[in-house]
Amino acid sequence: MKNLQQFSTLLLSCILFTTSCSKKITKSQENRELADKVLYNGKVYTADTHNPLAEAIAIKGNKIISVGTTDQILELASENAEKINLENHLVIPGFNDAHFHSFSNAPVGHQLQLQWEPSWDQVLEAVQQAVKEVPEGTWITGLAGVNVIDDKRSDRFSLDEIAPNHPVYISTWFSHGEVINTKAMNLFGLNDKVKDPLGGWFIREEGSDVITGKFHEYAQWPLRRQLMDFNLNDQELAEAMKAQTSELLSYGVTSIQDMPILSPTRYLKVLEDAEVPIRVRYIRMPNTTPDGRDTEESKSLPKYPLENRLVTATGTKWFLDGTPMERVAAIRKEYADKPNWKGKMSFSNDEIKHILSNPDSEWRGQVLFHTHGDRSAEIIINTMESMKGIDWKSKRVRLEHGDGVVDDLIPRAARLGAIVVQQPHHLVLADIVRSRFGHETHFFKMKSLLENNIPLAFGTEGVEGPFSAFAYALHHPLDPKESLTREEIIDGFTKGSAFAEFEEHHKGQIKEGMLADLAVLSQDILTIPEEKIVETKSIMTIVDGKIVYDTKVLKNLNK
């Protein structure tokens, strides 16, 4: 009996101890939110300078609630939580493409199959063949480049000889400078009496008003928009957006800051129809007329986000110059391969000052300036400095491309809080840049910007995934001292891009309270050989806490 009492006492003690321990664990969990999704057993690059690496992530709803070790995070898993074993894969914040142009490769009309940088003769030959293959009235489009823009023979009259009844539209891979024929001019409502719009120009025959069919900058943007309107309906554009989004998600891109050629009304409708599972910030690119800038077309739009909280609409982009390719980037010295020519500014200093004075009344805040040359960059900085009493750092004026923010301009840009949004893959054109600016060019800074506390964000133009940028940013072909580390490149595509859109408190890092926008990568881009980085893809992409792209490589338990 005594032994039985001792056994009962011991058994009761064990039960009480077990219950007590169980209650302690439950109490520990009750002090924290429980996750409905956990990613564990991985390598997490957080982009958080205070906690750069971790093993696991806890997510509840669309927010990250904790980042830590596998043991710590698994303890926060709710009973029915999805548990995703990362199997040592690298997780990074979802890429945020800060300079994107959707529909860049959308098929329009009958597309010519031209080689890279075709000659004008090759373009004419391809057009002549297309005329035989497609009915009259069909749009014939093609992508040419510097060779065609530089050729003095490229004009509408040579196109008219072989394609009088087909509208022909030849654009360039760098998107600045186009050639069309008379049939296309008529459909666009153009004639020789049309005045040049502000910031754009039609090339005319010397000593006359006759338009040659070549046009630049703000003369081309309205026509490209019309070309899309003529050839693609809303459903086709929505399908193109879906296809484009699928590709982006496969790269781990979770946000884009989009500057489409479409009108605001049409673009936002297409975006709503497409219901793409990616964050989109719409940045408008208004056109101009001979009378000035068009600031009216967006004023009637509702404020975003609406029901779709993934879509926002803020900011306005203005083109201040062209690019080095067609030599319209506004620079301070003469072009090395075109004496007595320094490029061309789109707007006067007074016009730039007016843009900077009225961003909120024109459209929701932030101003973005396309600027490739050092002269255009200097004019922006001069104008901002001349406008006293403004807290420029709070405005976050963006310099898109910003190639001309060179040594003497860097400290001035830093004091103003200007943001540079670069495209590292443009460095593939290093040889052309040298031919334009000289072999000792100091353009295209990156490391110097960071060292001087200039916010740096990255974009791709919408033509390549982010991983191609690593090859050029890791080994700057114009100036090795401007090369970046792998972490700095990731930061440019994540927290740098978030800062560039006033979203640094919501995304761009993997830490508590941030949106759950993540990419699980096929390779560890922090350690693999550099030449392998370009082969990287996402194996799982999460947007707003939801798995929106999944190659099924990882096991997802409790699902």
Domain boundaries, the chain: 2-94+547-557, 96-101+232-507, 110-228
Is the domain covering 110-228 a CATH 3.30.750.24 domain? no
Burial of 210 (0-12, 13-18, 19+ CB in 10 A): middle
Least reliable range by pLDDT among 6-15, 138-147, 331-340, 467-476: 6-15
pLDDT > 60? residue 360? no
What CATH number was assigned to the domain covering residues 2-94+547-557?
2.30.40.10
Residue 278 backbone dihedrals phi, psi, to 5 degrees? -145, 150
Q: What amino acid occupies position 356?
A: L
Helix (H, G, I), strand (E, B) or coil at 333: coil
Tokens of 409: 């301009």
Task: Tell me how far apart the terminal alpha carbons of the chain are, to the nearest angstrom.
Answer: 52
Helix (H, G, I), strand (E, B) or coil at 334: coil
Chain-centroid distance of CA 536 in Å reads: 19
Tokens of 360: 């909120």
Q: In the prediction, which pLDDT does 439 show?
A: 83
Find where tokens 């490739």 sit.
Answer: 372
pLDDT > 80? residue 248? yes
Chain-centroid distance of CA 532 in Å reads: 23
pLDDT > 50? residue 219? yes
DSSP code of residue 488: H
Q: What amino acid occupies position 42?
A: G
For Cα atoms 367, 373, 375, give the angle at the middle one, nearest 5 degrees: 85
- Average pLDDT of span 316-344: 96
Q: In the prediction, which pLDDT does 526 show?
A: 99
Q: In whole angstroms, what is the distance from residue 419 CA to residue 353 CA?
A: 18
Q: In the prediction, which pLDDT does 126 show?
A: 98
Whole-prediction pTM: 0.92
Q: How many CB atoms lie within 10 A of CB 395?
A: 18
Provide the pLDDT confidence category of residue 463 given band limits of 50, 70 and 90.
confident
Is the domain covering 96-101+232-507 a CATH 3.30.450.20 domain? no
In the chain, the percentage of residues whose pLDDT exceeds 90 is 85
Least reliable range by pLDDT among 3-12, 138-147, 310-319, 508-517: 3-12
306 within 8 A of 271, measured Cβ to Cβ: no
Provide the pLDDT confidence category of residue 556 given band limits of 50, 70 and 90.
confident
Q: In whole angstroms, what is the distance from residue 346 CA to residue 166 CA?
A: 32
Question: What residue spans of 419-550 are helical by DSSP H?
Answer: 430-437, 447-451, 468-474, 486-493, 495-499
Q: In whole angstroms, what is the distance from residue 228 CA to residue 251 CA?
A: 27
Q: In the prediction, which pLDDT does 359 show?
A: 62
- Averaged pLDDT of the chain: 92
Chain-centroid distance of CA 89 in Å reads: 26
96-101+232-507 and 110-228: identical CATH topology: no
pLDDT > 50? residue 522? yes
